[in-house]
Structure 1
């Protein structure tokens, strides 16, 4: 039985073509691809790639300047943060939330709009496996090209479950019986009609947006279209900690706001979602509100 795509690049001794992440004594990372006969150079000296080829992962190499570097394969979060970019990448903390709360499972049929640099595509492909289907749509051809290169570099070859289309989702979506849809785009509300027709009952829509105005319009548009259960919006933040003996304290820097996530479940055809029992805050749909439905939304209060 053949190994899943990319699995051979994640285990065993280092081989030519593998990516290596070096960590110096100060915790700084250097990532490169192993090539026979090449040398790795830093301002702290150099060492030959051949010294790592055939060595086990977790080896330590020393440069000509006698500086020790720990050699490991980069984890997927390391890879997506260091890979070439056309557009901004989806941060690993958000990709992890999408995989978890989007319930991305092996064999899932997933549609993605807004490929960017291919970070989220790589996470999704690793989650659905070769028996799944990921159909990604990207408006910009230059972004699509960079994303394809990044995804294939990670897996070592084209992924059999991936199809990449250059063009607008709402103009090109032909997929049916889709389990999950992930929208990483400026105006996800523009795609809700075609997405709702593609999703199976119980399927999950997940939108990733950057600003509070996008968040508000996305949530209200999902409510307005009427074929989804109540949307759930949130954001996540990560703060590392310094732990050394009795010195235990939070780091001064953290990964704060990167984007908002919204998930919603597709209802069965012809079914209306139960009315929300929690009353909106006073003034939530007042005269200044100009979201979906216009000022008529004021009646919800």
Structure 2
């Protein structure tokens, strides 16, 4: 039985073509690709790549300046944060939430819109495996090219489950019987109708948006379409902690707001969503409410 795509690059001794992440004594990272006969240079000195080729992960190398570096393969979160960018990447904390809360499973058929630099595409491909399907749509050809190179670099070549289409999702979506749809785009509410047609009953749409106005319009559009259950919206924040002896405290910096996530499940054809039992806040749908069919919401500017 052959190994899944990219698995051989994640274990065993270092080989030519592997990505290596060096960590210096201050915790700073340097990432490079192993090449026979080449040398790694820094202001702390240099050492030959051949010193790492054939060595196990977790090896410590020393430069000519006697600085020690720990050598490991970069984890996927490390890789996506250091990859060349055409557009901003989906942060690992949000990618992890998408894979978990959207329940992206091995063999799943996934449609993704808004490829950016390919970070989320890489996460999705690892989750669905060689026998799944990730069909990504990106309207900008330059972003699509950057994403293609980043995905190939991570897996060591083309991934058999990946298809990339340059164009707008609402104009080109032809996939049917889709299990999951992931939208990372400026106006996801414009895609609710084609997404609804593509999803299987019980399928899930997950939307990543940056602003509260986008969040409001996305939720109301899903809610008003009539083919989805009540949407769920949230954001996540990550705070690391300093732990040294009795000095245990939160770090001064944290990864705060990066975006909002919204999920909703596709209902069976002909089924009306159950009525919501909760009472909306006073004034939530008052005279000033613009509604999902307009281009702005009061007090927040244009969507």
RMSD: 0.6
Separation of aligned partners in 2, 1:6 and 1:274: 44
1:233 equivalent in structure 2: 233
Question: What is the SS of the residue equivalent to 1:194?
Answer: helix
Q: Is the 8 A contact 1:5 1:159 kept in 2?
A: yes
Report the equivalent of 1:288. 288
- The 2-side partners of 1:8 and 1:212 are apart by 42
Alpha-carbon distance, 1:291 to partner: 2.1
- Match of residue 133 from structure 2: 133
- Corresponding position: 1:24 with 2:43: no
Partner of 2:79: 79
SS of the counterpart of 1:69? strand
Is the counterpart of residue 208 in structure 1 residue 208 in structure 2?
yes
SS at match of 2:207: strand
Helix, strand or coil at the partner of 1:31: strand
- Report 1:1-301 matches (<5 A): 1-292=1-292
Structure 1: tracts of 5 or more residues without a match: 295-301
Query: What's the CA shift for 1:261?
Result: 0.1
TM-score in terms of structure 1 length = 0.97
Unmatched 5+ stretches in structure 2? 295-303
Kept in 2: contact 1:224–1:293 (CA 8 A): no
Deviations 1:23-70 (A, max 9, x none): 000000000000000010111000000000000000000000000000
CA distance in 1, matches of 2:192, 2:43: 52
Structure 1 position 89, deviation (Å): 0.1
Q: Distance in 2 between matches of 1:228 and 1:30?
A: 46
Q: Which runs of 4+ in 1 moved over 4 A?
A: none
TM-score with structure 2 length normalisation?
0.96
Q: Deviations over 1:228-268 (max 9, x none)?
A: 00000000000000000000000000000000000000000
CA distance in 2, matches of 1:46, 1:211: 45
- The CA distance in 2 between the partners of 1:286 and 1:253, in whole Å, is 39
Indicate if the aligned counterparts of 1:228 and 1:266 stay in contact, CA closer than 8 A. yes
Give how far 1:132 is off: 0.2
